[in-house]
Structure formats: C-alpha cells, structure tokens
Amino acid sequence: MIVENDFIFNQNTALIDKANFEWSAPSNIALVKYWGKKDHQIPANPSISFTLNHCKTITKVAFEIKNSDENFSFDLLFEGKPKEDFKHKIQKFLERIEVYCPYLKKYHLKIDTKNTFPHSSGIASSASGMAALAMNIMSLEKALNPSISDDYFHQKASFLARLGSGSACRSINGKIVVWGEHAEIENSSNIFGLEFTSPIHENFRNFQDTILLVDKGEKQVSSTVGHDLMHNHPFANQRFNQAHENLSKLKKILETGNLDEFIKIVESEALTLHAMMMTSMPYFILMKPNTLKIINKIWKFRTETNLPVCFTLDAGANVHILYPENYKVKVLQFIKDELVGYCQNGQYLCDEVGKGSQILI
Ligand code: PMV
C-alpha cells in the first residue's frame, strides 16, 4: 500500500535554475459523492467521478531559483490580473505540501491561471485549479528527478491536489476516477485518486454533461464548512456505508451498461448529498426553486420519451444533466425548449467526459 511518506522528495538532488510549464486540468463531476472528511483531507467515504473535458483551468508556472529558502514566494495572476483573495489559498496549499516538495521554498513561482468556464458561474474551480497547479509542481519535480515513473507522477500530483481541495485529486488522470478505499477496487486509496480501469460499457463512452447555471452566486456553504457538518451528523454512518454500497453497484453498472440502474444511483446520490445538508445542524438548502423545476422537468421528459437522461448536483443549485452521446441532439433540444428559461441569463455549458490533465508546454 502506498503511504504518505512515499511522496516525500529526496532532498539530495541538484536544483535547476529556471523552468516553465503549462498544464490544463479539468473539473470533475461526482457520481458517488464525497461529503465528510477526517483530518488531513482523508475522505470519510469513497467517491467516483466522471472527468470533464471542456470546463478546465489552464495554469502556467514559471519557477526561478532564489537566494533565500526561508519563505514561500509567489506571484499570482488570475485571468491576467493580480488576485489577492486566491493568494491565501495558495499559501496554505504550499505550506501543506512543503514536507513532500521541500524544493518549492527555493524557488519564486509566477503563477498565471485562467478558467475556460465563465467567471463566477457557480462552477467550483478549486478542483481544476488545484489539479493544474499540482501538475506544474510535478513537472518541476520530474525535471529535478527524471527517474520518476508516470504512475508516481500522477499519484503524487493527485496526492498534492487532494491537499489543496479534496475532489481535485480526481482531476488528474483518467476518464473515471475513484478516490477513497473501497473493498472491491484494487489499489483504491484515501490519499490519491485512481483511474477506474475496469472495462467500461460503450453506453458510457463520451457521456455528456450539460451544466445548467441556475445560480451563479457565491457558494452559500463553503466545502470546508459543508464537510464539517458531517461530524456528529445523525445519519453520517448510514451515509458513509451507503456510499460504499453505491460504489459497488456503480462499478457493476459501468461494466454492464445498465442505464436505468445508473440513473437510480446517480440521482439518489445527488439528493442524498443535499439531504445531508438539510438534516445537519446548522442546516442549509442549497437548491433553488429552479433547481426543483428542472429536476421535475427531467423526470417528466424521461417518463414521456424513455430516454436515459438524469441529473446530478454539486453542493449548489446548478444542475448537471447526464446522458449518453447518442441522445445529444434530442436532449439539447429539450434543454433549449424547456429548461433554458430556468437558467440565470439562459446560460448553460455543454461538456462531456474527458481524459484528465494535459501538458501544454
Ligand atoms: O473538494 P471539495 O472539498 O470542494 O468537496 C466537493 C464535494 C462535492 O463536490 C459536493 C462532491 C464531490 O464528490 O465532488
């Protein structure tokens, strides 16, 4: 089993003066949700997600050696402009990963980052953002130690991204990624995301995710606060057990292609996530009236057409509509005819399953 200490860098390697990299990393959408964590970003239950293709963060990092290695030193540009509110997050992230990447304090980092999805769309950019930064850091590490394997590169990138934002560890590599130990998934780990390598039925090839932007405002509950709500939650243990069971079921479904069963698990997971928030203390309702209107429209459309279309939700009001690629034309027509009116400014984003992070330079 791979443990945290396996990711500590060997300090005896010679440093290089300068290096420039650029990576894109996608967002991901969980099918079995991660909600609740233990210390050090260890998930309370295993989760699985589709990696997205178009909703991405693109991050360039220029590393330049400096004289002192007392403090971290970095500049941050977001969409070409300095962004003070992100600096605190990055500083915290660098501190958390220092023991695994001690070389970072010897460099000044110029971080230049942007998202492909619209500004403040209510789509969390922490997963793609932390994953893209972690990939750049691993490119530097690979330049310092070219002998590391591709597997190690991905595992450590996922491990680092996880320390920035839990679900970011599922945005590194693979179309479907599992994070968290699960009895039936060999090598699954609490400390990094693992590509789901069982054969996947062709029904899930190029699966579509159309994201309806219902509420683009600031998150009402940060994920840190949200995960904390699972401590002493009256239904926590049942929920964590259910996630294990749902992942067992989903593993088979992904292999057999049973879309009816897929829909049941995915929608139930989304509603359970929200039910956990509604039944915690303090309690929250993150869905908006239009979220419910969209869900009801999807159910009606599914009954009338028999098309395998379903929804999932993150910790917010936006709705992700999931469906196989061959129904794209019909579903997009349905969205245009019946759902756009429930989206803020009529906005929605068309995405699909992608492969993970990609190097650009
Ligand atoms: O990665 P975090 O700490 O922002 O948590 C994300 C949790 C959900 O998006 C609600 C579910 C998930 O598994 O992605």
Residue 33 CB–ligand 1 contact under 6 Å: yes
Average of pLDDT values for 73-94? 93
Confidence of residue 85 (pLDDT cuts 50, 70, 90): confident
Q: Are 83 and 48 in contact (CB under 8 A)?
A: no
Average of pLDDT values for 288-311? 98
Report the alpha-carbon distance of residue 296 to residue 170 in Å, rounded. 30
C-alpha torsion angle, residues 255, 257, 260, 261 (rounded to 10): 0
Give the pLDDT of residue 283. 96
From the list 329, 352, 358, the residue with the least C-alpha distance to 173 is 358
Task: Say if residue 219's pLDDT is above 80.
Answer: no
Q: What is this structure's pTM?
A: 0.97
Task: Say if residue 64's pLDDT is above 90.
Answer: yes
What is the C-alpha R_g of the chain?
20
Which tens digits make up the pLDDT trace of 144-194? 999 999 999 999 999 999 999 999 999 999 999 999 999 999 999 999 999
Helix (H, G, I), strand (E, B) or coil at 62: strand
Confidence of residue 199 (pLDDT cuts 50, 70, 90): very high
Average of pLDDT values for 102-110? 97
Task: Say if residue 32's pLDDT is above 80.
Answer: yes
Average of pLDDT values for 294-322? 97
Residue 126 CB–ligand 1 contact under 6 Å: yes
Task: Say if residue 121's pLDDT is above 70.
Answer: no
Residue 343 CB–ligand 1 contact under 6 Å: no
Residue 34 CB–ligand 1 contact under 6 Å: yes
Average of pLDDT values for 197-217? 94
Confidence of residue 101 (pLDDT cuts 50, 70, 90): very high
Task: Say if residue 217's pLDDT is above 80.
Answer: no
Average of pLDDT values for 16-44? 97
- Residue that wins the pLDDT comparison between 123 and 130: 130
Q: What is the largest CA-CA distance in the chain?
A: 68
Cβ partners under 8 Å of residue 358, min gap 6: 23, 24
- Please report the DSSP string for 179-240 in residue order: ES--TTSTT--SSSEEE--S---GGGTT-EEEEE-S--S--SS-HHHHHHTTTT-TTHHHHH
Task: Say if residue 11's pLDDT is above 80.
Answer: no
- Tally the C-alpha atoms within 13 A of residue 205's C-alpha that lie toward its C-beta: 5
Residue 30 CB–ligand 1 contact under 6 Å: yes
C-alpha torsion angle, residues 60, 53, 201, 151 (rounded to 10): 0
Give the pLDDT of residue 120. 64
Which tens digits make up the pLDDT trace of 252-295? 999 999 999 999 999 999 999 999 999 999 999 999 999 999 99
How far is the centre of ligand 1, averaged over its atoms, from the C-alpha of 315 (Å)? Answer: 7
Residue 179 CB–ligand 1 contact under 6 Å: no
Average of pLDDT values for 226-240? 97
How many beta carbons lie within 10 A of that of residue 176, not counting itself? 22
Confidence of residue 117 (pLDDT cuts 50, 70, 90): confident
How many beta carbons lie within 10 A of that of residue 39, not counting itself? 5
Atom of ligand 1 nearest to the CA of 126: 4
Question: Please, what is the end-to-end C-alpha distance for the chain in angstroms?
Answer: 33
- The share of the chain scoring above pLDDT 70, in percent, equals 98
Confidence of residue 220 (pLDDT cuts 50, 70, 90): confident
How far is the centre of ligand 1, averaged over its atoms, from the C-alpha of 305 (Å)? Answer: 32
* Residue keyed to tokens 């991204």: 161
State CA 45 to chain mean position distance.
15
Atom of ligand 1 nearest to the CA of 165: 1
The first and second tokens of residue 62, run together, are 């220029």
29, 31, 35: which to mutate for ligand 1, most atoms within 8 A of CB? 35
Residue 166 CB–ligand 1 contact under 6 Å: yes
